[in-house]
Amino acid sequence: MSSSLYIVIAGCGRLGSLLANELSRQGHSVVVVDRNEAKFAGLSAEFGGFTVVGDAVESDVLRQAKTGQADCFLATTNYDNVNLMLAQVAKTVFRVPLVIARVFDPSRESVYQQLGVATISPTRLSALAFQAAIQQGSAGQA
């Protein structure tokens, strides 16, 4: 991942804006899509990418973001179903090589992993982190 990638991020909430700022700082070309323009306030002053206002569930909005040319598509809205749909559209219709969706619900996540959608579940990651912290804590006490 050393060379510059073209990355589309759908959803400019806490996770989306954090990723957009960080990836832009690393020198990647980033386009962020959100249906609420006010959310772009979360982008840092150094953010060098572009923003598109619109509902990414409309294919037309994804085309405006030039999703067809993207190397990577990240679905980071607050809605599992939106992310799951966007990931599949980015992969199947726009043929983006690397697509990742955030999915809170672990049971939904496992179904879509079987369908070939790459997902990251904050719920599952937190559970693992808690368990690791418990193990460390109890090891420290022993």
Partner 1 sequence: MRYILMGGGKTAYFLARDFISKGHNVTLIIRNGDEAAALSRQIRATVLHGDGSDPVLLEDAGARRADVFLALTPHDEDNLVACQLAQSMFGLPRTIAVVNDPENEAIFQQLGITVAVSATRIITTLIEEQTTFGAITNLFPVAEGRIVVTEVRLDADAPALEKTLQSLKLPEGALVAGILRGETVIVPRGSTQLQQSDRLILVTQPGNYGEALRILMGEDA
User: Applying CB under 8 A, which residues contact partner 1?
Assistant: 57-60, 79-82, 84-86, 88-89, 92-93, 105, 107-108, 111, 114-115
CB of 59 vs partner 1, minimal distance in Å: 5
Report the residue number, 28 or 91, with the smaller CB distance to partner 1. 91
Residue 91's contacts (CB-CB under 8 Å, 6 or more residues apart) are 73, 99, 116, 117
Put residue 27 in one of left, alpha, beta given phi > 0 → left and psi -120 to 50 → alpha. Answer: left
Structure tokens at 122: 């904050």
Instruction: State the nearest-atom distance from the C-beta of 11 to partner 1, in Å.
Output: 12
Beta bridge partners of 51: 32
30 versus 65: smaller Cβ distance to partner 1: 65
The residue among 5 and 85 lying less far from partner 1, judged by its C-beta, is 85
Q: In the complex, what is the shortest distance from the CB of residue 93 to partner 1, in angstroms, rounded to a whole number? A: 6
Give CA–CA dist 16/74, Å, rounded: 8
Written as six digits, the tokens of 80 are 């599992």
Q: Minimum distance between the CB of residue 124 and partner 1, rounded to whole angstroms?
A: 15
